[in-house]
């Protein structure tokens, strides 16, 4: 048996591949385009391992997809491949439409053609699991209940709109063609191997480098934080036992303001790697202009996946964040490998040198 993973050299996909191969013998075929956020160094521990077959490629490449599906005959596909950074989607939405919408369409069509050619038994057992985001639901007021699977879609950024479109395609391919799909919508992930454009790794690395810690607007935007390895365990559980056609929200039950997150990181760094001058890293916090259309609050109601599949997160925000900070302190070679000149130029442009 084999599972095909798309986007398996990225942050969440890479962690999924690592955890899968550490716990299971079932091989993975891993296709990743290796854009700026894809990094094979994340998977270097499995270099030469016959269970991990890596292919550098695009989910929009139908010829390649047909070849891989025919050759490896996977029992399931887990689709992580996506452009995922809201700020980048604001500056350049075209890449997000191409990968998240057009790419998902190509993947679904290749999967449908492959699935139709399977035996009845293999067709019944096959699964297509699509990994999505809570951002498709829009934004919440402070008093709103968390997002459930019944919330209507109200995406507010080019990124979330492109992911919403991909979710709709997956749903339609199930209802129209009978493709056995599963969809997960997760809250903000954090943890090891996170490309340092997102809040938590960016703050850790800026703090250690003595740079200002940029905080959008008033810092009171609320997010639900999910440790990436908890997310990976949820995906494995949904793949194993999820009901075909269903959506499962995956969250950490950890609502925090951005300001609270930055302060928590500073407190851990003050403890684990104090500044030489004895001053708290919190002194480096700098408020910057808020981004356009910044959603105020996301929160996930993860009751359905707990009640239906028995899954709940193992980490609290405090335990997960401590593990994350320690990982970055102990893996500076990985950090140096991903913080290329191109990435530093993007940071300089995006934050205007702040």
Distance from C-alpha of 7 to C-alpha of 81, rounded to nearest angstrom: 4
Distance from C-alpha of 274 to C-alpha of 269, rounded to nearest angstrom: 6
Is the distance from CB of 256 to CB of 225 less than 8 angstroms?
yes
The question of whether 159 is a catalytic residue gets the answer: yes
Is the distance from CB of 311 to CB of 295 less than 8 angstroms?
no
Place of tokens 């905080």: 215
What does the block give as tokens for 351?
Answer: 């934050």
Q: Which of 32, 134, 230, 295 is catalytic?
A: 134
Radius of gyration from C-alpha coordinates of the chain? 20
The question of whether 61 is a catalytic residue gets the answer: no
Burial class for 86, CB neighbours closer than 10 Å (0-12, 13-18, 19+): buried
Half-sphere exposure (Cβ direction) of 103: Cα atoms closer than 13 Å: 23
Q: Which of 159, 281, 298, 328 is catalytic?
A: 159
Q: Which of 32, 135, 255, 295 is catalytic?
A: 135
The question of whether 114 is a catalytic residue gets the answer: no
β pairing state of 127-133 and 76-79: parallel
What angle, 0 to 180 degrees and rounded to 10, lies between the N-to-C axes of helices 258-272 and 317-330?
50
> What sign does the dihedral 230-302-31-86 (CA atoms) show?
negative
What does the block give as tokens for 92?
Answer: 């350049």
Is the distance from CB of 32 to CB of 62 less than 8 angstroms?
no
Q: Is 342 left (phi over 0), alpha (psi -120 to 50) or beta?
A: alpha
Phi, psi of 286 (to 5 degrees): -135, 130
Which among 262, 191, 266, 253 has a CA at the least distance from the CA of 221? 262
User: Which sequence positions are flagged as catalytic?
Assistant: 134-135, 159
């Amino acid at each position: 048996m084999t599972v095909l993973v798309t986007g398996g050299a990225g942050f969440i996909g890479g962690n999924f591949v690592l955890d899968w191969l550490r716990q299971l013998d079932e091989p993975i075929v891993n296709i990743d385009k290796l854009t700026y956020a894809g990094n094979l160094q994340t998977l270097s521990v499995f270099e030469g391992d016959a269970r991990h077959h890596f292919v550098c490629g695009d989910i929009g490449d139908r010829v390649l997809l047909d070849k891989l599906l025919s050759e490896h005959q996977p029992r399931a596909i887990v689709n992580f491949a996506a452009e995922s950074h809201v700020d980048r989607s604001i500056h350049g939405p075209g890449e997000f439409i191409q990968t998240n919408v057009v790419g998902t369409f190509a993947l679904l069509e290749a999967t449908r053609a492959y699935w139709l050619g399977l035996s009845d038994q293999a067709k019944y057992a096959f699964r297509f699991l699509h990994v999505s985001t809570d951002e498709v639901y829009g934004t919440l007021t402070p008093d709103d209940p968390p997002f459930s699977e019944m919330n209507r879609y109200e995406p507010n950024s080019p990124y979330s709109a492109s992911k919403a479109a991909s979710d709709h395609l997956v749903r339609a391919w199930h209802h129209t063609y009978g493709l056995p799909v599963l969809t997960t919508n997760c809250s903000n992930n954090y943890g090891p191997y996170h490309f340092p454009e997102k809040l938590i790794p960016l703050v850790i690395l800026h703090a250690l480098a003595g740079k200002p810690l940029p905080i959008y607007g008033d810092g009171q935007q609320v997010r639900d934080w999910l440790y990436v390895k908890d997310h990976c365990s949820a995906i494995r559980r949904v793949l194993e036992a999820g009901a075909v056609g269903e959506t499962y929200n995956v969250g950490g039950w950890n609502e925090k303001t951005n300001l609270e997150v930055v302060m928590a990181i500073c407190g851990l760094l003050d403890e684990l790697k104090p500044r030489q001058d004895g001053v708290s890293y919190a002194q480096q916090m700098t408020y910057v202009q808020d981004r356009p259309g910044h959603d105020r609050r996301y929160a996930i109601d993860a009751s359905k996946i707990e009640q239906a599949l028995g899954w709940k997160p193992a980490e609290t925000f405090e335990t997960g964040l401590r593990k994350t900070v320690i990982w970055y302190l102990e893996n500076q070679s990985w950090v140096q490998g991903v913080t290329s000149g191109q990435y530093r130029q993007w940071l300089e442009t995006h934050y205007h040198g702040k």
